[in-house]
Structure 1
Amino acid sequence: MDFTFTSKQQEVIELCRELAKDFAKRAGEHDRDRTAPEENYEKLREAGLFGIAIPEKYGGLGIGFLGYVAAMEELAQGCASTANSFNMHANATGAILQHPDVPETVKQRVVDLALKEHKLMCTSVSEPTSSSLLATSYTPSLEACRVEGGYTLHGKKAFASMFESSDYVYLYAHPEGDPNPQASIGFLVPINGGKMPGVTVHDVWDPLGMRATRSNTVEYDGAFVPDEFVLHQTDEFLNDFIIRGANWSFAGFAAVYLGVGMGILNYARELLGSRKAKGFAQPQGFHPDIRRRIGTMASELEAAKFSMYHAAWYSDTYGPSLQTFHHFLRAKYMIAKATMNAAQSASIACGIHGLMKELPLERMIRDAATAPIMPPNIDACADQVGLLTMGLNPAEAMPPLKSLEPLTTVQVGGKGA
């Protein structure tokens, strides 16, 4: 197990660190106005980062998931909304190129779109009825109806980050009339920033944190997708997208929130290590309560970081598997917990000076509020980690809620894993 970065990985990490400094200058404005950071996406394109998740054999940066995790950790410290949204581009390109059922000709087209035509992509899986606590609720109800030359899409997707800024969206839809709720078709849909006929963006995104992700609801009413943009079909959506593709389906988000936590720690460390209270000769950092809070934050975040680095290394080394999924679940849990705790400790330690809206800590604390609920949420992670740690098949666990209708059994670790 070696977490030493290659020269190429280190180059990308340092590039993202420098971009983060620039993004931080506008992060407050985009957060306040909940506007898309278009200039940041353009700078990512100019920096050659549209290929950050593309393997070297396809002409991408080839930094692996470990390199990607470390890069996102840096980027998120400048503007978490930019990092969280751009993660959707990496999700789309990385997941498609990793998928064994996507034909090589289709993969090459995706590569050309990203690297030669500089097209920005997003991923849209959540729907208005999805729950980050219940994995089966992510099976798509967006319907794909077969027509001459392709499909038409009918239904809604929710929390579609960066949709209005993207040229293409990677999504799954359920084939019309198929009785298997997990039957799905993967598409790469040309959307032209949401201006595609049959597509309506509902501007509902006005949350506490991650405001500049523009994660609005998108309605599809007969949007036509040509056959050439069909990626693959599956009868096991959960195994196919979430378990086998755990690195891109949820671990990329975790890396972003690790960056949020580290940003909170660094802000608190610098502020409290230098600020003096009236009548005292030493900075407040010498106070035992402050020392303990900073020490706890640093310890928890460092442990979370290396849990994620280990999961990323394992994924790069051994590929998709149930064990890889298990590693990522543990890392996601630890990052959510550590970031949530860091936000609470920093707000107490820094006091009102850290909660004024013109200061970046206040924004980072609000962004951190979404860490434990980003899918799979912290309770779902703990639940699945518990089952897998005991060697139990999650598919055999009793459903937590009564279903409206029987669902096809999710055979965890089946052919999709």
Structure 2
Amino acid sequence: MSTFDPTVFLPDDLLERIRSRAAQVDRDNVFPDQDLAELMDAGYLKILVPAELGGAGLTLAQTSVLQQRLATAAPATALALNMHLVWTGVAKVAGDRGIDSMRFVQEGAAAGEVFAFGVSEAGNDLVLFGSDTAAVPQPDGSYAFTGTKIFTSLAPVWTQLGLHGLDTTGDDGPTLVYAFVPRTDAVVTRDDWDTLGMRGTQSRTTELHGAAAPADRVVRRLDPGPSPDPFVFGIFSVFELLLASVYTGVARRALDVAVDVARTRRSKKSGKNYAQDPDIRWRVAEMALAYDALLPQLASLTRDVDERVEHGPLWFAKLSGVKHRAAMTAKQVVDEAMLVAGGSSYFTRSELSRLYRDVLAGLFHPSDPESAHSTVAAAWLGPLED
């Protein structure tokens, strides 16, 4: 088996150009348009699209490695593109399992479409399993969506928004409807992304005012609530694993910066650089130990999705767990890196200062710490009794 070379898809020179822009993107609170343009030219947005449809035909495991690499240069760029890659990844997972309803996503990505993820809603802790957005069926089989989505990454540039809503018009009870709407006048994007970190994602609030999803862009209708449906599994698995990949990349960059600083800072007291200081060496070792533990689990679980390995009722616990672990570990590693670097890391001009702010976003993505623990407890102990 040939070894996967991530530099084919993310060459060193491209990565360095992206890294050189990251601080300015954060400072100006703008979308990284140049990053997107260069990555599109490099074919990055179609890495998960099958080769026969014009893509690179990569696996989820290979894409995880690339997202880790991209996040070492610009976490916000990596996180923003995650949302496009989630939909192309779901199309791959669904296609691998015999569901062909999302082939248009693969064809669209190959043709230059940018897909965004419109599921999060304020106060909706059901996430995938419920929605406050109204999905109203139309006579031609299309749906009109009205509601508000939050944290819509890629807000300035997306061309297709994958979303869900609740159809309450049926006689058999409410139905969750998953579909894709194009950007039209029925979609209003608020300019409200003024956040602590991950500023380049421009994950703005999206208002839907009867936004129409054509009949051939309605991809799934499901009963509300937890579901073993392969489409739901596709969303959950790709979303969690690629999020974990981004935060693993943040951890790696913080570790690399800490090592560089330790080798260049010099102690007035000993005259030696800090790489010779026992306390600093212990901190760097702690960082490396924590980071190294993420890599084999990410590799194993992404490979299991690719190869359709069955974990049964433990799947959702494993996926929630790896995302939670990656986010918390990355925060721990960045904390330690700032202590290694000393007071200079507290200035906003420091890359570690930006990584410190960026890594905090990991606490809020699904599955958040409470949800992850609840999912794992239910997998091992069973559901709570009424």
TM-score, normalised with respect to structure 1? 0.84
After TM superposition, give the deviation of residue 340 of structure 1 in Å.
1.4
Corresponding residue for residue 305 of structure 2: 315
1:145–1:348 CA distance, 2 compared to 1 (3 A) = same
* 1:296-335 correspondence runs (5 A): 296-319=286-309, 321-335=312-326
Contact 1:139 1:181 in 2 (8 A): no
Q: Which of 367-376 and 86-95 deviates more?
A: 367-376
Aligned residue for 1:79? Answer: 74
Confirm or deny: 8 A CA contact 1:16 1:72 kept in the other structure: no
CA shift digits 1:338-397 (9 cap, x unpaired): 111112112222112112211211101111112232210123223322432x3x33xx22
For 1:215 and 1:44, the matched residues in 2 are separated by: 19
Residue 63 (structure 2) aligns with: 68
2 CA distance for matches of 1:46 and 1:164?
19
Deviation at 1:33, TM superposition (A): 1.5
- Indicate how the Cα distance of structure 1 residues 229 and 162 shifts in structure 2: closer, same or farther if over 3 A, else same: same
Shift of 1:237: 5.7
- Over 3 Å counting, the alpha-carbon distance change for 1:37 and 1:244 in structure 2 is closer
> Residue in 2 aligned with 1:288?
278
Task: State the SS of the aligned residue for 1:60.
Answer: coil
Cα distance change, pair 80–27 in 1 and its aligned pair in 2 (3 A): same
| Equivalent AA in structure 1 for residue 193 of structure 2 | W
- CA 1:355–1:103 in structure 2 vs 1: closer, same or farther (change >3 Å)? same
Q: How many Å separate the matches in 2 of 1:178 and 1:136?
A: 22
Change (3 A) 1:113 1:42: same
Residue matched to 2:138: 147
1:358 to 349, 362, 367: 349
Is there any run of 5+ residues in structure 2 with no aligned partner, and where?
none
The correspondence for 2:247, drawn from 249, 252, 257, is 257
Say which SS state the counterpart of residue 188 (structure 1) adopts.
strand
Structure 2 counterpart of 1:63, one-letter code: L
Matched, 1:36 2:27: no
Aligned equivalents of 1:228, 1:322: Cα separation in 2: 32
Query: In the alignment, which residue of structure 1 is the partner of 2:168?
Result: 176
Within 2, Cα distance between the matches of 1:384 and 1:148?
Answer: 39
Select between 309-318 and 379-388 the one with higher mean Cα deviation.
Answer: 379-388
Following the alignment from structure 2 to structure 1, what is the Cα–Cα distance between the partners of residues 275 and 132?
53
User: What is the percent sequence identity of the aligned residues?
Assistant: 23
Which stretch of structure 1 is more off in the superposition, 44-53 or 276-285? 276-285
Contact 1:307/1:330 (8 A) holds in 2: no
Judge conservation of contact 1:184–1:237 (CA < 8 Å) in 2.
Answer: no
Report how far residue 242 of structure 1 moved. 4.9
Contact conserved, 2:266 with 2:273, CA < 8 A, in 1? yes
Contact 2:9 2:44 in 1 (8 A): no
Deviation per residue, 1:308-354 (Å, 9 max, x gap): 11211222223565344333223222212211111211222211211
* Corresponding position: 1:167 with 2:159: yes
Q: 1:182-234 CA deviation, whole Å, 9 max, x = no partner?
A: 7211112111xxxx111111222211111111111111112222212222212
Question: How many corresponding residue pairs?
Answer: 381
Give the conservation status (yes or no) of the 8 Å contact 2:53–2:107: no
Aligned match for 2:327, one of 336, 339, 343: 336
Rounded Cα–Cα distance in structure 2 between residues aligned with 1:137 and 1:185: 11
**Pick aligned residue for 1:246 from 224, 230, 236:** 236
Mapped to 1, the partners of 2:360 and 2:173 lie a distance apart of 32
**Matched residue type, 1:159:** F
Q: Partner amino acid for 1:23?
A: I
Alignment partners' CA distance in 2, 1:161 and 1:385: 28
Match status 1:129 vs 2:123: yes
The question of 1:212 aligning with 2:204 is answered: no
Q: Which residue in 1 is equivalent to 2:105?
A: 110
Root-mean-square deviation over aligned CA pairs: 2.5
1:224 and 2:212 matched? yes
| TM-fit CA distance, 1:178 | 4.8
**Closer/same/farther in 2, CA of residues 230 and 137 from structure 1, 3 Å limit:** closer
